[in-house]
Structure 1
Amino acid sequence: MLTLTSVWTTILLAAAVALGPLATDMYLPAMPQIGSDFGTGTDQVQLTLSLYLAGFAIAQLICGPLADRFGRKPIMIGGFVLFALASLGCALATNIETLQVCRFLQALGGSAGPVLGRAAIRDIYTPREAAKILAILASIMAVAPAVAPTIGGVLVTGLGWSSIFIALGAYALIMAVVVAYGIPEPMRPEYRQPLKPCALLKNYRRIITDVSFLGYSLTNAAIFAGLFAFLSGSSFVLIDFLGVAPRHFGLYAACVVAGFIIGNLTAVRLGRNLNTDQILVRGLMVAVAGGATMAILAYQEIYNVWAVILPQALFMIGTGMVLPQTMAGALANFPTMAGSASALFGFIQMALAAVAGGLVGHFHDGTSLVMASIIAVCAAIAMACYLILVQRHPAPGFEPQGASSR
């Protein structure tokens, strides 16, 4: 079994966390085909994505406290098994309603990987170190959304969309075995929390009333909502509106993910000389520029693939700089209840993302205008949350990243 600080432990945690983006990104090229097969509209197909996020958000509030009581590993393993069973249900679905229900159940299990992966990083590292590790982890994890749409496009073209869910279920089972036998339990025994309703409510109340936590969480959630607005609308915009072949969809998605990786690596490099506040504001400025550019091009009716992909790649550079800092900042004050803090953080993140995805599906007009507008608004909200909350109430325990080198 690996040591907690081993680079392979970080890689395996990244693989566990990657189940979340795999479950959203791999089936994006199949969404138009699912709508055609079930004879339903864009809004109902998109609802399978929003319901996944809603289930993901709700489940985190449960698995976080459970992990604070029983440890990270058993909850993560149980979540992967549930995810695999729900994936089989998705593959066998014969109507859109069944697929929606199974996607919700899939999310209940899939939430364990991301929420407990973040908590495990906080268990192992200090807040300053965690920001760097989360950025590295995010770069590794970004391989999943880079290759997932391409794999999904090949599967839907050759074997049909149900094969995507079979592949996801198999991945979850493999990760259950890897976590069981490859990673030690990262949580210290003395940090275990009682599993009592009053204690849970008290913990959540303490966390949500921490202005620093709220600021980092809302900044993160707003920028993530912009990312999810793109995930919700990109397949319909690129495939249905702009005529991209499903098998080529993943190539354009890889360009967007490349932006995210560049942002992550930039954050790591800047962390040698700049503090978290300086990295955050630079990332937010880049994200706002990307979102505004896409919206302006759409309002000018400049409709082509690169008018969507290039601004979104710029937005993702900013996103890659912002997400690791806000994750580490939100968890910095809660070393003894990192599972609950990570769960509440994830709930806020996914709830706002579900709203953004729902708005894209509801108001989609057949062009890129709605998607681009929502991405731009999300970036602006993230900047406002930073200026109003984070800048005024930084996490007291969140040391500048360059402090150790001075």
Structure 2
Amino acid sequence: MNSKAPIYLLMLLIIVSPMGIDIYLPALPQMADSLHTPISNIQLTITLFLAALGMGQLLAGPLADRYGRKPLIIGGLSLYILGSVICAIASHVEILWLARIIQGLGTCAVSVGVMSGVRDSYSPQRTATIYSYINGVICVIPALAPMVGGWLSQTWSWHANFVFMGIYALLILMLTLWRLPETRPAHTVASSSLINFQQFKPILQSPVFQLNTGMVMLAMAIIIAFVSIAPVRLMVELGISPTLFALWFGSNAVINIIGSFSAPVVIRKLGKTRALKLAMTLCAGAALLIVMLQGVHHPAAFMGPIFIASTGFCLVLPICCSSALEPFAERAGTAASLLGFFQMAGASLLVGLVNLLPFASLQLMGLMMLLPLLWFAGNSLLRKANQAHQG
């Protein structure tokens, strides 16, 4: 390992992921009108971006371990810039779809490079703090990017959002070339072939990785479920205005920012285990509260439990990300890619399956909030049963 990756640069790099979604959300109707297509086709650009971001992890991790973190990040930023340019000049929605897939793959490479770079550069105790700060930066974007995107769209057009993305990525690319060291350890294990699922086997078989990756996936599923349920609950069922919806939605981003930057203090005082138990208690309490208040037709009855669960999420993510990657210093890129795959693709699939259950939306939300506690309890019982059997 040459030297540590600067924390400020890791934070600047991770911004490309949420920016790729949140900044152009206010422009969706304008894009549909401009491209003469139903808005559902424009919404598909978000799905394609997330799908590429999730599925690409399985290739990005082995690339990071074979060629290094810095080349992967440089390649990812280059793809992101290319996708942004194509989006900005797209005249047909099909071209926009292709460009968003390119952007998603670029974002995936950057994310894996950042996550493995943190694992390379800092101690297991320090990584939880770094991941918490990174999550805090990610949460800033949903609070600010829509305002920037709305101004860009009104001042110029929807194309300006993608020009902004490309310019930002270009500036960060130049900073990366100048300031980012290669952090891949000399003892890194790389597979002889990129498409080789045997390289994932020792990671997937690790009980530590299973427990913590499951917790990260379930925590992310709560956020995805909230994003899908919130517009229907607040604007359709409760009838609040889009402006008021934006204020409630943005307030949760503020909660996440505060929680993410406070999490290192809580973890340091309580320790990882007790802090994780606190997080699960918060999520379980939020699950009970949202079901109890489902008959109360006020935004606070929905958003209050969401605020509580989001606070728990801010503790789960840094603790479990650092713990999941801790045993794999020799293959951090591959481990980080698997973690990212389950966090994004696994959580999205889980939410889709849970939505098939014959429950009301608030009951489904409550179930999602309860799952981290059930997963942790199930793993604890299984571990005790194995110990008793071996004894």
TM tier relative to shorter chain: 0.7 to 0.9
Partner of 2:378: 388
1:290 is the counterpart of 2:280: no
Q: CA deviation at 1:277?
A: 1.8
1:345 is the counterpart of 2:335: no
Structure 2: distance between partners of 1:75 and 1:214: 26
Structure 2: distance between partners of 1:291 and 1:159: 43
Q: CA deviation at 1:56?
A: 0.6
**Structure 2: gaps of 5 or more residues:** 385-391
1:70 is the counterpart of 2:60: no
Partner of 2:87: 90
Structure 2: distance between partners of 1:295 and 1:26: 33
1:59 is the counterpart of 2:53: no
The question of whether the paired residues in 1 share the 8 Å contact of 2:28 and 2:39 is answered with: no
Structure 1: distance between partners of 2:246 and 2:155: 15
Pairwise mapping of residues 7-406 of structure 1 onto structure 2 (< 5 A)? 9-34=6-31, 38-40=36-38, 42=40, 44-191=41-188, 193-197=190-194, 200-232=196-228, 234=230, 242-245=240-243, 251-294=247-290, 297=293, 299-300=294-295, 302-304=297-299, 306-355=300-349, 370=361, 372-389=362-379
Structure 1: distance between partners of 2:226 and 2:94: 24
Q: CA deviation at 1:66?
A: 0.6
Structure 1: distance between partners of 2:118 and 2:193: 25
Compared CA separation, residues 24 and 238, structure 1 to 2 (3 A): farther
Query: Which AA in structure 1 matches 2:126?
Result: E
The question of whether the paired residues in 1 share the 8 Å contact of 2:217 and 2:342 is answered with: yes
Structure 2: distance between partners of 1:390 and 1:107: 36
User: What SS does the aligned partner of 2:270 have?
Assistant: coil
Deviations 1:297-317 (A, max 9, x none): 4x426154x444443332211
* Alignment length (residue pairs): 377
The question of whether the paired residues in 2 share the 8 Å contact of 1:277 and 1:391 is answered with: no
Partner of 2:389: none
The question of whether the paired residues in 2 share the 8 Å contact of 1:148 and 1:250 is answered with: no
* Identical aligned residues as a percent: 28
Query: Which AA in structure 2 matches 1:125?
Result: Y
The question of whether the paired residues in 2 share the 8 Å contact of 1:267 and 1:321 is answered with: yes
The question of whether the paired residues in 2 share the 8 Å contact of 1:132 and 1:268 is answered with: yes
Compared CA separation, residues 211 and 190, structure 1 to 2 (3 A): closer
The question of whether the paired residues in 1 share the 8 Å contact of 2:52 and 2:104 is answered with: yes
* TM-score normalised by L of structure 1: 0.82
Structure 2: distance between partners of 1:82 and 1:249: 34
Compared CA separation, residues 143 and 31, structure 1 to 2 (3 A): same
Deviations 1:48-74 (A, max 9, x none): 322222111111111111110111001
Q: Look at both structures and tell me which one has the larger radius of gyration over its CA atoms.
A: 2
Structure 2: distance between partners of 1:160 and 1:238: 29
Structure 1: distance between partners of 2:15 and 2:326: 23
Deviations 1:370-395 (A, max 9, x none): 3x44443322222222222268669x
Structure 2: distance between partners of 1:178 and 1:249: 37
Deviations 1:84-105 (A, max 9, x none): 1112222333444443332222
Structure 1: distance between partners of 2:370 and 2:33: 35
Structure 1: distance between partners of 2:3 and 2:27: 40
Deviates further, 216-225 or 20-29: 20-29
* TM-score normalised by L of structure 2: 0.85
